[in-house]
Structures are given as C-alpha cells and as structure tokens.
Amino acid sequence: MQFLHTMIRVTNLDASLHFYCDLLGLQEVRRTEHERGRFTLIFLAAPNDMPQARSTSAPLLELTYNWDSEVYFGGRNFGHLAFRVNDIYATCQRLLDGGVTIARPPRDGHMAFVRSPDLISIELLQAGAALPPAEPWVSMANTGQW
C-alpha cells in the first residue's frame, strides 16, 4: 500500500494558495480544471517531497475548489485520505470481512471508498490499470456517504 494524498475542500482558492504555497511553502505539482463537474483540483507537495511527488504522484495535499459556493459542515471540508493498493478487490474483501462497510464499491476495478471508525473517508485506488469488473463489486450499491 502507498499513501497518495489528503484532500481538503477550499472555499477561496486564492487565499488557500497564498496560505499553503506562499506562507507554508508547499509547491504546486499539478492542476486540473473540470468544467463539466465545475471544480478545480490542485495538488501540492512539500519542497523535500517534490522529486518523489513528481515521479509517483505522492505524497500530496489535494485542494478541491468547487466553483459553485457551498457551505461545508460536519467536517466535509476535509475530504479523504487516499491509498494505492495492489489488489483493490482483495483489499475491499478484507475490509468487508472485518466488518467495514464499503461505501463506494470498486465497480470499475479502480476506485473504492470506505470510512474509518471515526468516519474519515478513505479512498482506495488500484495500482496500475483497473482490474476487470467482477462480482460482487459490480452489483453492489453505494452505502451512506463517502
């Protein structure tokens, strides 16, 4: 397993970039605009992590800026932790067998979400190419929030 990023939602992109980059010293690794979904993703890394962040896309801080204003409550501004796993199906099965609810099953063989006992959202991403779709994951519905 490899730690990838922590995602937080920001309400003022300029103020957030000033804080994280200008004041704290993080550096921008990449930025993507998603017009259809109306959001911007900006990935930042600490200066000493830049070589690794550029080559492996980890470890990063992901700033998510939703273009339409939204009030975040209940910790929703803290998005999730993300981990790359070698076999998303085996990982989800181990979690399921351990009593963890799979909030967003890996129907696509690539991505799943679970929650920690403290309700922190955890994103699991398949290392390399997505695995072929497989049951029971393909037919499993989302459960709760993720």
CATH number of the domain residue 15 falls in: 3.10.180.10
Catalytic residues: 123
- Domain span holding position 137: 86-146
Does any domain span residue 128? yes
Quickly state the pLDDT bin for 133 (edges 50, 70, 90).
very high
Identify the residue whose tokens are 């998005």: 79
* Ramachandran sector of residue 137 (left: φ over 0; alpha: ψ -120 to 50; beta: rest): alpha
Residues 6+ apart with CB under 8 A from 60: 4, 5, 6, 29, 43, 44, 45, 53
The secondary structure of 11-57 as a DSSP string is: S-HHHHHIIIIIIT--EEEEEEEETTTTEEEEEEE-GGGHHHHHHH-
Q: Whole-prediction pTM value? A: 0.76
Selected residue with higher pLDDT from 77 and 47: 47
Cis before 105 (ω within 30): no
For residue 72, is it within any domain?
no
Mean pLDDT over 9-16 rounds to 90
Model pLDDT, residue 75: 67
Whether the per-residue pLDDT at 74 is higher than 70: the answer is no
| Mean pLDDT, range 39-56, rounded to an integer | 95
Residue 79 domain-assigned (yes or no):
no
Q: Are residues 90 and 128 in the same domain?
A: yes
Take residue 69 and report the two structure tokens written for it.
Answer: 């204003």
Mean pLDDT of 14-40: 93
- Could you tell me if 56 and 9 lie in one domain? yes
Distance, in Å, from the CA atom of 89 to the CA atom of 1, rounded to the nearest integer, reads 13
Domain assignment of residue 77, yes or no = no
Q: What integer pLDDT is reported at residue 119 of this predicted model?
A: 82
| 144 and 92 inside one domain | yes
Q: Is residue 60 part of a domain?
A: yes
